[in-house]
Amino acid sequence: MTATICGTGSYIPSYTMDNNDIARLVETSDEWIRERTGVIRRHIIRDETTVSMAAEAAKRALEDAGVSPEELDLILVSTISSNVILPCAACEVQERLGAPRATCFDLSAACTGFILAYNTAFAYLNSGFGKTALIIGSESLSNLTNWKDRRTCILFGDGAGAAVLRAEEGTVYLPVTHSDGRKGEALTCKSRHDYNGLSDGHCRERPQDTPDEEYYMQMDGQAVFKFAVKSVPEVINEALELNHVSSGEISYYILHQANRRIIEAVARRLGEPMEKFPVNLQEYGNTSSASIPILLDEMNREGKLRKGQKLVLAGFGAGLTWGASIIEWHRCRTNEIK
Ligand code: COA
């Protein structure tokens, strides 16, 4: 038994900040950001929350799949930027959708989160533990961004993407994933729940001598860059070898959208043409666990995906964590109609 994607959806906030807007906040320029990252603008929440975006992306994915919320056995939300600590975002999405049968939980693995959500749902469905799953990546990274730090605030954006999976007969492709907690310092963000007003007074006070910066995302950009361009091609090759699939059989590599130069370097190292590496980060920036499902949804809705095509999904990020999964595109209503 394998898990096939039978519908996708996404939600993007309408409010945008382009590079010139960022240049009014910190010393940078549109030219520098475009050249070093490929990002031109990013979408930022106004009235939305991580949960509201997740629920909207989920509704669109269910509609695309022709699946009702009552059919869902599992709802997984991958996020590092949930509105609240409790309840988990997946339970809040369940409540908004009306999916009474679903088991719901969140998963925190930063920019590799959607890959791990897919793998977890795949393992559930493959083992007979449910038939229909909804996986979502949703992030309000603007809440975790230090808008005074030009090394990070140029990179990130908000949004959500979702996919509906069904247990079906088909080829099983095993995923490959890795983690290296020894390198966690490369990308960090401390919890703010004990001083940002959500506390009921029982939590530990924020130490007076702790600089505020620690409570926003902090990154060693060069270390993360080097890690990504080395580990992503390696893990993709591992997944291809493990499953006896050649790179020639892959139609698209759908990578986490962090930086255009990273994607180009991965393509070069794999010896594959850039046409196989769709890029949309110029519009959204890095939306962490939402980036892969947003891109997948765009490609689905643009009719770029065809039945039987093999795709590689690959993510990398804080933890450090990284991984690649091969999927075969099977049941897409958008394509069926065409
Ligand atoms: N605008 C203008 N100058 C900037 C700048 C900005 N936004 N950010 C940094 N600089 C400056 C630095 O201060 C430095 O100046 P100096 O040489 O006078 O000290 C210079 O630009 C080069 O800095 P460096 O950090 O070496 O730049 P870089 O080429 O590595 O680019 C990143 C920085 C963040 C764009 C790049 O490292 C990157 O994309 N890393 C991966 C990040 C990522 O994808 N993270 C998420 C993974 S999930």
Q: Which atom of ligand 1 is nearest to the CA of 318?
A: 48
CATH architecture of 2-168: 3-Layer(aba) Sandwich (3.40)
Q: Which two tokens stand for residue 145?
A: 């961004």
| Protein residue closest via CA to atom 40 of ligand 1 | 221
| 286 is a catalytic site residue | yes
Average confidence (pLDDT) over 129-135: 97
> Three-state SS for 139?
strand
- Topology match between the domains 2-168 and 176-184+215-328: yes
Domain boundaries, the chain: 2-168, 176-184+215-328
Rg, Å, the chain Cα set:
19
Q: Which atom of ligand 1 is nearest to the CA of 111?
A: 48
Q: Which two tokens stand for residue 333?
A: 């209503």
Taking residues 317-321, what's their average pLDDT?
97
For ligand 1, atom 1, the nearest C-alpha belongs to 28
The whole-angstrom separation of Cα 22 and Cα 36 is: 15
Please report the pLDDT score of residue 337 as a whole number: 42
**Count of beta carbons in the 10 Å neighbourhood of residue 200:** 5
Residue range 141-186, pLDDT digits in tens = 999 999 999 999 999 999 999 999 999 999 999 999 999 999 999 9
Residue nearest ligand 1's atom 2 by CA? 28
Ligand 1 center to 34 CA (angstroms): 12
Q: Tell me which residue of 237, 303, 317 sits closest to 270, measured CA to CA.
A: 237
Paired sense of beta strands 310-317 and 250-255, if any: parallel
76 membership: H or E segment, kind and range: strand 74-78
Residues 202-250: pLDDT tens digits? 444 555 555 578 789 999 999 999 999 999 999 999 999 999 999 999 9
Pocket probe for ligand 1: among 146, 222, 230, 320, the residue whose CB has the most ligand atoms within 8 Å is 222
CATH for the stretch 176-184+215-328: 3.40.47.10
**Helix, strand and coil percent figures for the chain, each rounded to 5:** 40, 25, 40
Provide the 10 A C-beta neighbour count for residue 308. 9
